[in-house]
Structure 1
């Protein structure tokens, strides 16, 4: 009888053991920098469980958030729609109570919320930072919103571009929304829901002083909608808070200190998007020398996980530099510089103008960014 090859023996003995290796329950941080004066908290304020039309027990939502590196979530089950009520409690507060218990163990902040689910207008709205969801179960939608606001709730408009609620196929702002703003019953708006970006809503956030939100609106287990192991993840509302607490998040939301991170893109006011980008992008060797017709390389490091895509937005005298540049997340890339013509010998400061095409400060408006270097031209 011939001896079995060693590799075959290992495959037979080690293979079954590897197949039964337990899954590691690990947290993957979202690598985005803090900005001056504030912590950048990663949040999802639109989440469903089996207590409305979701397919997940509330405690699972807290661990999903922990694994994905989130700081805070809001459980926002529908008030009016409970298809599982034959199997679970109809107590509108119960889902948050369960999720908060697990969240406390994992240091994930769990905020009580509810989705007020009505036809358009006004559509679906989330109220978060509730103390009691039960008073929202009333037939008149305006009474429901007033009951939420009486508890100090922050209220935002969900998925304004959701196709089933469009009128004449258009994303529209209605007089009812103007009324809500006037009565202090509307403070934010989803500009991203799931994977959909609504440029109209982004514009309204700027024009009407509403905090922009990006939320998952997740119903299924999170891994069924997002390829987590491939680096994919849910949209996030970035909250710029003074500290990591529910109270600080609430204060930041009412002060409109939010931005959105979704699909490898940033959306928000320039005063928040700029420090997110500039806090991550560093020129490692700003002083370089170009000799004659040779070239020099500037090394640029991107500390964040976002791969920033840059397009040149202007020219610089005496310098040839790339039209496009991709700053890969977590990597250092080379930017090639050459002399244009025959510049006078000497050292000068240059600012290379770019637009960050995946960092939008308004619909269709990319962030402008200058990469600065000190270039010495030598014969």
Structure 2
């Protein structure tokens, strides 16, 4: 019996240790900025989530996240008969548990209203309880008084906008009044091209989050290579103030499935810092370019309009940490020109990939 108990203890210890192995997403730095992997929209049992706040910290650590925001609903708490607490309590538990684990926890809440204006997250709050008010504008005013960073959640959610994704007059009032600083371009695995365009037009910060309620592995099959969506934030330092400063200045892109969504400048720099040219061999009639991908991101290239005397394949995929050769045939005495591609999984406009050219 003692041997059996010892075996079960060691087995449990092994499972516990393996559960805490961190998998880091390897990415390049951008022009001196450090890249933080963030999820600013998650739920616990203190609203309609199914896990304790400490579980969210452990999930974030295992999946290589640097920052999470506990954003439990203000208006919707289906477990309130069993869990009676301040709206600050889920953050307090998670923040205390996260100390020393390399995960920063941001205090936030979700203002949960029907459309319009729908749901919004307020981050960097000092007191979540003050948002508990019948009038939605009073909740936004309370968040603004605390200098919160506020973003519109899942604008195309079919439960609230089943046929079209609209920008309502109430959103103009929030935007014009300084109550909207960003929009979720990705929620779970749902990408909103309308939100992408609004962010570009109105200079709003792009965010991508899980909006997770169940245990994370219920929604994402990590064994098959799936990953949670996240917001990549380019910070000068990884303090809470540094994260806020980056969000306020729109230094973000969104990573979901195998795609990056963002403003072209940041997306292009991310791509250029990810790819290393190992060699360029040029002869009278051929050029061979060998590339190496230094990151965990794939890059999918599709040939666009070009000089017809430069002959190369239509499509390429540069796999994570892989090398790839691009062979260009030079016809009719051509000596130079541009190799032109669309990087189809780097979206810089709604459903449009980044244009890229390489001069020979």
Deviation at 1:155, TM superposition (A): 0.4
Q: Retained in 1: the 8 A contact 2:287–2:330?
A: no
2:302/2:344 contact within 8 Å kept: yes
Aligned pairs (5 A) from 1:363-378: 363-373=350-360
Show the counterpart of 1:216: 210
From 35, 42, 46, give the equivalent of 1:40: 35
Q: Structure 1 stretches (4+) deviating beyond 4 angstroms? A: 18-21
Asked if 2 retains the 8 angstrom alpha-carbon contact of 1:48 and 1:54, the reply is yes
Given candidates 166, 183, 191, the residue that maps to 1:189 is: 183
Q: Does the alignment pair 1:161 with 2:156?
A: yes
Partner SS, residue 354 of structure 2: strand
| Superposed displacement of residue 130, structure 1 | 0.3
Q: Distance in 2 between matches of 1:75 and 1:218?
A: 10
Give the aligned partner of residue 268 of structure 1.
262
8 A contact 1:214–1:261 mirrored in 2: yes
TM-superposed deviation, 1:350: 4.6
Taking the aligned partners of 1:372 and 1:104, their CA distance within structure 2 comes to 49
Q: Contact (CA 8 Å) 1:39, 1:242: kept in 2 or not?
A: yes
Contact 1:290 1:339 survives alignment (8 Å) = no
1:107 aligns with 2:102: yes
Q: CA deviation at 1:263?
A: 1.0
Alpha-carbon distance in structure 1 between the residues aligned to 2:114 and 2:352: 32
Residue in structure 1 matched with residue 241 of structure 2 by the alignment:
247
CA-CA distance at 1:283 after TM superposition = 1.4
CA distance in 2, matches of 1:369, 1:102: 45
Q: CA deviation at 1:335?
A: 1.5
Normalized against structure 1, the TM-score is what? 0.88
Task: Tell me the residue number matched to 1:290.
Answer: 283
In the alignment, does 2:313 pair up with 1:313? no
Local SS of the residue matching 2:325: strand
* Partner secondary structure for residue 22 of structure 1: helix
**Residue pair 1:266, 1:358 contacting (<8 A) in 2 also:** yes
State the partner residue of 2:200: 206
Q: How big is the shift at 1:314?
A: 2.5
List per-residue Cα deviations over 1:331-354 (Å, max 9, x = no partner). 11121232324x27xxx5553111
Structure 2: stretches of 5+ with no match in the other structure: 1-7
Deviations along 1:315-341, one digit per CA (max 9) or x if unpaired, are 246432111111111111121232324
Choose 111-120 or 84-93, whichever is displaced more.
Answer: 84-93
Q: Secondary structure at the match of 2:87?
A: coil
Please, what TM-score do these two structures have when normalized by structure 2? 0.92
Q: What is the aligned partner in structure 1 of residue 74 from structure 2?
A: 79
CA distance in 2, matches of 1:372, 1:29: 34
- 1:336 maps to which residue? 327
**Conserved? CA contact 2:306–2:338, under 8 Å:** no
Contact 2:109 2:122 in 1 (8 A): yes
Deviation at 1:290, TM superposition (A): 3.4
In the comparison of the two structures, how many residue pairs are matched?
Answer: 350
Which whole-Å CA distance do the structure 2 matches of 1:21 and 1:352 have between them? 54
- What secondary structure sits across from 1:285 in the alignment? strand
Is structure 2 residue 145 aligned with structure 1 residue 145?
A: no
Give the unaligned 5+ runs of structure 1: 1-15, 374-379
The equivalences for 1:8-157 within 5 A come to: 22-23=14-15, 24=18, 25-157=20-152
3-state SS of 1:259 partner: strand
Deviation at 1:64, TM superposition (A): 0.6
Per-residue Cα deviation, 1:178-205 (whole angstroms, up to 9, x for no partner) = 0001111010000100000010111111
> Following the alignment from structure 1 to structure 2, what is the Cα–Cα distance between the partners of residues 60 and 21?
17
Counterpart Cα distance in 1 of 2:307 and 2:14:
56
User: CA separation in 2, counterparts of 1:307 and 1:371?
Assistant: 19
1:372 Cα deviation from its structure 2 partner: 4.6
CA distance in 2, matches of 1:242, 1:308: 26
Query: What are the superposed Cα offsets for residues 280-314 of structure 1, whole Å, 9 maximum, x if unpaired?
Result: 0121102x13366xx55321111121111101112
Secondary structure of 1:106 counterpart: coil
Contact 1:45–1:215 (Cα < 8 Å) also in 2: yes
Larger Rg: 1 or 2? Answer: 1
Question: Which one of 331, 347, 351 corresponds to residue 360 of structure 1?
Answer: 347
The whole-number CA distance in structure 2 between the counterparts of 1:75 and 1:233 is 19
From 171, 175, 179, the equivalent of 1:177 is: 171
Give yes or no for contact 1:35–1:276 (8 Å, CA) kept in 2.
yes
Larger CA deviation: 43-52 vs 206-215: 206-215
